[in-house]
Structure 1
Amino acid sequence: MTGEAAGEALRAGIADASRILAGLGILDAFGHVSVRSPGRADRFLMSRSLAPALVGPGDVIELDLDGNCVSDPAARPFLERFIHAELYRLRADVGAVVHSHSPDVLPFTVVPTARMRPICHICGFLAGTPAPFDVADHAGPGTDLLIRESATGAALARHLADKAVVPMRGHGFTAVGETIEQATFRAVYTARNCRIEREARMLGEPLFLTDEEAAACDATTNGQIGRAWALWRDQWGLPAAA
């Protein structure tokens, strides 16, 4: 695949992921998806500031790791593009990022005794998820909780370290993956894991996966992500992949 063709495929992937995540309720009018640019580790692709369900391939712009739009300087980018930029800067293994304000996840970001842990076999990637990142620890008590500039984006990336998901206090969460399909899968199942735990606690104290189980489950599930991606594309009537 040529560089141009790869770029077109990734732009289509961002549009597909945005619409899938909106359809599944992981994103609403807010939230965003990005992917590292093909052949350019120092750039990434992301929609202009637009509700995810409305994103098409033509809305995708290219940014550098300082958050500057290099493909269309007149485009209006998302305020929180620095989440994505700093994760790509710190983590060479990250190929895609999803940022969500899912109401299923938010309770786990504001209750100090709650920790996001894998509770079912599809969510092994949540093992070791850090405590919620708090903007106030880095930018003071009077912010709007958004990641508006590189310094707080870098602090978030360091807080995530080598894990797959980072909760964000009073805000939501960010999931990373090697591919856009994996990042999307992790975003969907992060929300589902939180929902399952909340419902399990109505019955009693739940059992969580051990670290060994989580690793084994994640290894198995990673080989099945294409099945979920194909289903979601069909559910939301997305055009057949070339």
Structure 2
Amino acid sequence: MTRDYGIIPQIEHYGCMVDLFSRAGLLQEAREFIENIPIEVNGVVWGTLLGGCKVHKNIELAEEATKHLAELDPLNDGYYVVLSNIYAEAERWEDAARVRRLMRNRGIKKTPGCSSIEVDGIIHTFVAGDDSHPQSPKMFQLWEKLLGEMKQRGYAPNLSVVLLDTDEESKEKFLYRHSEKLALCFGLLNISPKTPIRIMKNLRVCEDCHVAFKCISAIANREIIVRDRNRFHCFKDGLCSCQDYW
């Protein structure tokens, strides 16, 4: 870059390299690369490594990345939630609870998830667990129908993303009322079949919603576009443009 094009690498370029290493599962290489970056490293770089640790289930490096993030971006609740989810997926429930306690002790509150969808020029916003919308009964009925077809195709709810100390039935109910699922059902009911459904999510799409959206895109033969906190997800024919890395 510098020799041929006169471009001096900036933090964005180094961040892209960390992302490439992390996507490939070369997490130790990514960590070593970060340590040798000649300029000041920001939270985005360590957050990129943390995301790779979640995908490739590397708890040790996730803990290290979170320690750096606690110094660089101490009020960002998303990093704590990712680490808590990593523990939950490994069934290390005490560690997951410890992270939540740490958030409370530091006065960090988890941002409530909400999703928005525009229909006929009107923006409709849903929050997790919301049943106040006038079309809620129809939306829940549609979800139950979709759920039956999804399970026939091998879908199983990922309860590890629900960090509540409750029974499985309650966890499933909470999982099925995630804001993006509510927005999707509303879109399927109100947007013409040939029009893509576009949803905005203020947080990272969870693993269960991601799997569900892929499945529903094939069942309903619809293109579903979701912009979450990390990137655009274009679901079509049972696949996502992010290739399951986000």
Instruction: Using structure 1 for the length normalisation, give the TM-score.
Output: 0.31
Larger Rg: 2
Larger RCO (CA under 8 A, 6+ residues apart): 1
Between structures 1 and 2, the one with greater helix share: 2
Instruction: Using structure 2 for the length normalisation, give the TM-score.
Output: 0.31
